[in-house]
């Protein structure tokens, strides 16, 4: 499953932060340096 997330702010502003994401309770990810790292939760 592919998840597309749209941010109201440019992703570059989040590059200095680590934003934890929880999608459908199955995919946890972290936005760091403009990249989305997703880890499946079992």
Q: How far apart are CA 10 and CA 25, in angstroms?
A: 25
3-state secondary structure of 11: helix
Residue 35 lies in a domain: yes
Strand partners, 38: 29
Statement: residue 10 has pLDDT above 60: no
Confidence tier at 2 by pLDDT (50, 70, 90):
confident
3-state secondary structure of 9: coil
Residue 2 lies in a domain: no
Residue 1 lies in a domain: no
Residue-averaged pLDDT of the chain: 55
**How would you classify residue 7: left for phi > 0, otherwise alpha for psi between -120 and 50, otherwise beta?**
beta
Statement: residue 4 has pLDDT above 50: yes
Residue 6 lies in a domain: no
* DSSP letter for each residue of 12-39: GGGTTS-EEEEETTTEEEEEETTEEEEE
Residue 25 lies in a domain: yes
Q: What is the pTM of this model?
A: 0.17
* Number of separate domains in the chain: 1
pLDDT digits (tens, 9 = 90+) for 16-28: 455 555 455 455 5
Residue 33's domain comprises 11-40
> Region 5-32: what's the mean pLDDT?
53
């Amino acid at each position: 499953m592919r998840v597309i997330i749209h941010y109201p702010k440019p992703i570059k502003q989040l590059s200095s932060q680590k934003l934890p994401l929880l999608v459908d309770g199955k995919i946890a990810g972290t936005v760091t340096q403009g990249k989305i790292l997703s880890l499946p939760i079992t």
